[in-house]
Every structure is written in structure tokens, then in C-alpha cells.
């Protein structure tokens, strides 16, 4: 289907984009890579009168380290995140996650800002438990660094125009010491979206105790969730594959997976447990290899 008719606006600065959003409000939508917005417009799920293309605004595509944090500009593409040597060294979870998004064309065009703002419950980045807490919700991610958007509210796939104030950045810590990360994903072949995705981070102390364990799941609920039961089960202990396998059984606690054409809720629960075991085992092995 063709989208309803609309006008394209091309701001050259963040301020200009913000002014346009203020002026056109509910009638406007930000366009970044277009890999989610254009299909939504073609299906007429959204019918903006104005589409504000932000791809010509300079300075929104970057990956850099500042004060122990890794900062990623909203217009940074999945492919740039996958290839970044800084991320591969300091927090490889995002790179591995990006490498499993869609196909090459999607990764070349799609942006982290667009993905987080779109808030698809099966998207890959939101499950990453290493990302900084305050930056995990899309509405926070899109708040402009200079001019903040307030009182925003998102629900999956339907971010309100006021939730798109300004493209900003995503943030994750630069990891230090003995750490390992892994992302496991069961894909729906037709789209490459996650049926279930599990991201894991393990940090070991000098004597090999698990100092920090983080597990994030995507595709298993309306929003990405942390497997806190699994984390509690492992933190402060000397890890082994047996211990991880037992703890992973708690990955399906408290989740409400959907049943749809891709998988039943029960299958998703089982895959959440199985992929948690795989992701944690891989992360643990990687962390062990970095011990002195």
C-alpha cells in the first residue's frame, strides 16, 4: 500500500529540527533510517502530514568514550556499531547485538536512535542489560542534550510525536577488569527479528567470583526485561556450567510472552531458559579467559 500523502522537511541543525517538531506537533514524525517508519506509513498505521528527515543534521553519528561511558549518537547505524573497534574492546555486547540485526541493508540504514524510539518489543538493543539504566527507555534516549523533552510516554511501536523531541544518544559503560558478554538470538527467518533474544554480561573479581551478572531478554514481553532471579542466583558465587544451567531455569520467571504466528508463549518461555544458559555460559567463558 502507498502511504498517505505527506511533506518532507529537511532540517540542517538540531535546533531547526526541534522547532519543526514544536510547530507541527502531533502531525510530524522524525525520519532516520526509515526501516520502521516507512513500513508503518505504508501500512497506514501512522499518517504524519510532515516527515522530518534528520539525516542531514551534522554531529549525530558517533561512538566515543567520555568519563568511563561509551556514548553513541542517535544516527549511528547498526553497521557502525557492529564494526566499532572501541565498542569491541570496551563493551562488545552492543557490537554483537548489532551484528544480529536484520540483514546488511537493514544494518546499513537503520539507526540505534530509530530502533530505541520505535520500541519494538522484539528489537535487539533494548534487551542489552549493560546499557546505562537511565538511558534504557526510548523516551529518555531521544531527549535532546540541550533542550530536554519532558513528560514523555511511549508504548511499543507508537511513540507519540512529543516523544521524538530531538535525536540524542545512547549510553553504555566502558567495561573494565575480567568481563565477558554474549548475545543469543532465536530469529524469525522471514524478518530476522528475535523470537527470543538474550544478552548476558559476566564480570569476575580477582579470585574468580561473579561480581556482576546481568541478563536481559527481548521478545518475551511487552518490553525488554531483566532476568533478576538468574542474576541473584549467580552473583557472589564461583560460577560453573552446572550452576549457570540451574540458574538459567529462573529466566522465565515473571515474563508474559505473547503467542503469535512465530511461536507460542510456552515455546518462548523454554527458549528464554535455553538461550539464557547459552549466553551466560559463553559470557562466563569469555570472562574466564581474560583473568590474569
- Give the one residue of 13, 27, 191, 205 binding ligand FAD; rule: CB under 6 A: 191
Q: In this complex, which beta carbon is closest to ligand FAD, that of residue 109 or of residue 243?
A: 109
* 3-class DSSP string for 68-123: CEEEEECCCEHHHHHHCHHHHHHCHHHHHHHHCCCCHHHHHHCEHHHHHHHCCCCC
Considering only residues 225 to 264 of the shown chain, the ones binding ligand FAD according to CB under 6 A are none
**What is the contact mask toward ligand FAD in residues 2 to 31, using x (rule: CB under 6 A)?**
---------------------------xxx
Q: State the number of CA atoms in the 13 A half-sphere of 83 facing the CB.
A: 9
Considering only residues 90 to 149 of the shown chain, the ones binding ligand FAD according to CB under 6 A are 101-102, 106, 110-111, 113-115, 117-118, 123-124, 142
**What is the contact mask toward ligand FAD in residues 156 to 175, using x (rule: CB under 6 A)?**
---x----x--x--------
Q: Which helix (H) or strand (E) holds 248?
A: helix 241-248
CB 209 within 8 A of CB 235: no
Measured from the Cβ of residue 43, the count of other Cβ atoms closer than 10 Å reads: 10
- Give the one residue of 18, 20, 21, 32 binding ligand FAD; rule: CB under 6 A: 32
- Give the one residue of 20, 24, 36, 210 binding ligand FAD; rule: CB under 6 A: 36
| β-pair partners for 181 | 201
The backbone torsions φ and ψ at residue 180, rounded to the nearest 5 degrees and listed phi first, read -145, 145
Q: In this complex, which beta carbon is closest to ligand FAD, that of residue 164 or of residue 203?
A: 164
Q: In this complex, which beta carbon is closest to ligand FAD, that of residue 101 or of residue 248?
A: 101
CB 21 within 8 A of CB 28: yes
Opening angle at CA 58, ends 55 and 62, nearest 5 = 90
**What is the contact mask toward ligand FAD in residues 192 to 211, using x (rule: CB under 6 A)?**
xx------------------
Residues that bind ligand FAD (CB under 6 A): 29-37, 74, 101-102, 106, 110-111, 113-115, 117-118, 123-124, 142, 159, 164, 167, 191-193
Amino acid at each position: 500500500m502507498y502511504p498517505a500523502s505527506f511533506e518532507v522537511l529537511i532540517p540542517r541543525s538540531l535546533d531547526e529540527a526541534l522547532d519543526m517538531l514544536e510547530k507541527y506537533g502531533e502531525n510530524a514524525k522524525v525520519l532516520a533510517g526509515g526501516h520502521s517508519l516507512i513500513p508503518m506509513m505504508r501500512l497506514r498505521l501512522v499518517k504524519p502530514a510532515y516527515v522530518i528527515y534528520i539525516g542531514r543534521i551534522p554531529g549525530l553519528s558517533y561512538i566515543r568514550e567520555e568519563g568511563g561511558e561509551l556514548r553513541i549518537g542517535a544516527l549511528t547505524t547498526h553497521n557502525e556499531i557492529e564494526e566499532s573497534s572501541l565498542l569491541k574492546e570496551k563493551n562488545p555486547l552492543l557490537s554483537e547485538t548489532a551484528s544480529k540485526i536484520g540483514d546488511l541493508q537493514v544494518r546499513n540504514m537503520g539507526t540505534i536512535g530509530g530502533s530505541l524510539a520505535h520500541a519494538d518489543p522484539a528489537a535487539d538493543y533494548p534487551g542489552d542489560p549493560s546499557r546505562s539504566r537511565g538511558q534504557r527507555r526510548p523516551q529518555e534516549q531521544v531527549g535532546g542534550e540541550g533542550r530536554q523533552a519532558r513528560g514523555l510516554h511511549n508504548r511499543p511501536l507508537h511513540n507519540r510525536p512529543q516523544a521524538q523531541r530531538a535525536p540524542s544518544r545512547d549510553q553504555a559503560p566502558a567495561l573494565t577488569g575480567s568481563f565477558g558478554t554474549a548475545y543469543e538470538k532465536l530469529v524469525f527467518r522471514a524478518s530476522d527479528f528475535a523470537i527470543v533474544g538474550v544478552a548476558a554480561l559476566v564480570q569476575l573479581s580477582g579470585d574468580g567470583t561473579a561480581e556482576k551478572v546481568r541478563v536481559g531478554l527481548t521478545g518475551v514481553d511487552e518490553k525488554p526485561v531483566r532476568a533478576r532471579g538468574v542474576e541473584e542466583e549467580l552473583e557472589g558465587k564461583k560460577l560453573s556450567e552446572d550452576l549457570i544451567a540451574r540458574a538459567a531455569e529462573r529466566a522465565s520467571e515473571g515474563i508474559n510472552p505473547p503467542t503469535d504466528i512465530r511461536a507460542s508463549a510456552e515455546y518462548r518461555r523454554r527458549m528464554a531458559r535455553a538461550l539464557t544458559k547459552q549466553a551466560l555460559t559463553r559470557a562466563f567463558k569469555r570472562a574466564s579467559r581474560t583473568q590474569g
